Chain A
Amino acid sequence: MKDIAIILFASSGFDKAAQGLTGAARRLADQASAKLRAIVLGAAETVAAEVARIADAVVVADHPEMADYQPELCLNALTQICREISPAAVLLSNDTYSQEIAPRLAHRLAGSAVGDGIEIRVQGDTVRVVRQVYGGKAQAVLEMKRSPAVVWLRARVFEAAPARAAAGEITRVVLDLKPEQRTRIVERKREETGEARLEDARVIVAGGRGVGSREAFAAELQPLAEILGAQMAASRAACDAGWAPATWQVGQTGKKVAPDLYVAIGISGASQHMAGISEAKNVAAINTDAEAPIFKHCRFGIVGDYRKILPLVRQKLAAVAK
């Protein structure tokens, strides 16, 4: 098979998503007896060096404008590089930037794109991707009909690959790119969480429509999160109500999390929400409705009004802590 390429953004570092992506691609390349080439956008020494320990070759796309992501420029750079190496598959992570440009890259390369893959298989020259559909209620296997297959993966669900004996060669390409003025990212704002990323949190306390107000998130859920050393998250309904910032949304169109413990409070357990926590080791729920679908996914739960239950729970936890 022709080469397999992965795309990494230097500005994101070699984080868990980049490691999962690289791991998935390495195993795929080995299985298909293909070479693994990493394309790093932006000249960050560390990312190139880290990925070179796993990939056969690394191309660093260097350009003064590329230190930070700009959609049109990055897309032009990737199109040039991919045309050069002509890969059978191009794999990306499921971050904002990758999702934004992957289908466009596929279009420019006359390939096919598919997103949010949880499994990828090659057989001969055929690439198949498994993904959730119908809001997580079903799964589909999609066979890519054009080449290259441009696939963005739920990168964090894949295991990292071990470093290899010999590091891959790193080449720097200085691209000749026309300045692109049609769109420009002029501001980047980080939502202050003060914590690690939600995707990497070990314990998560999440609230839904049943929580009822922004104040209750702060007064009832936040203290529980503090006792448990947890990060906070929310359902779409709670985010849409303005009780929690959009960056807290977990689910099909929010964060995909993988904590040891996920505590769902006033969340019904719609499939689109569950799609974001399929990798959680344990789910616990507090819900007034014993028939709420969330209980079908729980290790343990309690039926009742969280406003009565949480003060008792906090009291008991404080006692245990002592």
Chain B
Amino acid sequence: MNILVCLKQILDPEVPARDFRIDPAKREAERGAANLVTNIFCENALETALQFRERSGDARITALSYGPATAEEPLRKALAMKADGAALVVNDGSPNPHPLTVARVLASAIRRLGQFDLIMLGREAGDWGAGQTGALLAEELGIPCVAFADSIERAGDKLRIRRQTEWGSEIVEAETPVVVTITNDEHNVPRIPKVRDVMMSYRQPLTKWNASELGGDAGDGYYEVTELFIPQKETRCEFAAGDTEDERAGAFAARLAELAGAL
């Protein structure tokens, strides 16, 4: 089984709101002091792939990222987590490509990398949160797509994919090749690589291409960000008052009762 996992590097999405700034002219976030990290759902996808390989033995996992030169970092981390290979498509065009361009670039990289049975992505990226690269990639490759999965097993020559719905879960049986987007679950919390493996990962080979040599840019446009702003909304919190914890709890309970209206 040949597995490909797509990883996106993003600005740390957990920077607190008070430290978050935007550049309204460029219509993107200011980097500030924030770190660059691998999008969490991409790591959930990689973790799901690693567990699949551990169970089925004969899988090979390749990590793929498209982004600036710094996007080598998520790939090194993927290698440290024990992906078998990695490829970086350096974005030498405009920053912040729209999802159709991303899907096309990923598709052309995938065609160069070989044949994959299972292509995994995160359900969405924590920066722009488009939530559509997986679906568009499936269309570019002409194969089906299963969204919001949290675990994958082999079932004969098919895959048995468990995915979340708003009311529970579903089992999807899929032929390969297939694109699967991954969501979080208690079982796919990404592992922390060992320090030694992190160091080793820098000695492993990593394929690099420039996006312009691969082709795929959907220059004709998809959507354009015309405005970016930080909505101002703050509520004044009324803290429960009282000299003792008992009094404060009483004041809090009274407000709960009032607003719940159930009592």
Contact = CB atoms under 8 A, between A and B. Distances in A.
B69 interface: no
A182 B180 CA distance: 13
A135 B227 CA distance: 16
A21 to B, nearest CB: 15
A7 to B, nearest CB: 15
A107 interface: yes
Interface stretch (A30-38, A42-50, A95-103): A95-103
A95 B166 contact: yes
B173 A186 contact: yes
B168 A107 contact: no
Question: Most B CB atoms within 10 A — which of A95, A143, A302, A309?
Answer: A302
Interface in A287-322: 290, 293, 295-304, 308-309, 312-313, 316-317, 320-321
Q: Which DSSP category, helix, strand, loop or mixed, fits chain B's interface? A: mixed
A135 B173 CA distance: 32
Contacts of A309: 245, 248-249, 252
Interface string B227-263: 1111100110111100001101111111111011111
A241 B257 CA distance: 30
Interface stretch (A59-67, A82-90, A113-121, A163-171): A113-121
Contacts of B252: 284, 286, 300-302, 309, 313
Contact of B148 (A96, A185, A203, A308): A96
A134 B226 contact: no
A140 interface: yes
Interface stretch (B85-93, B138-146, B195-203): B138-146
Contact of A247 (B29, B163, B164, B231): B164
B135 interface: yes
B261 A137 contact: no
A139 B221 CA distance: 21
Q: Which DSSP category, helix, strand, loop or mixed, fits chain A's interface? A: mixed
A97 B170 CA distance: 11
A303 B248 CA distance: 9
B68 interface: no
B51 interface: no
A137 B136 contact: no
Interface string A235-278: 01001111000110000110100001101000000111000000
A285 B240 CA distance: 10
B42 to A, nearest CB: 13
Interface of A: 71-72, 95-97, 99-104, 107-108, 112-116, 128, 132-135, 137-146, 181-191, 197, 199, 202-203, 227-230, 236, 239-242, 246-247, 252-253, 255, 260-261, 263, 270-272, 282-286, 290, 293, 295-304, 308-309, 312-313, 316-317, 320-321
8 contacts: A96-B164, A112-B223, A145-B224, A197-B167, A240-B184, A253-B183, A299-B238, A300-B255
Given A137-B20, A298-B238, A317-B263, 5 more contacts: A107-B140, A240-B189, A246-B150, A261-B256, A316-B249
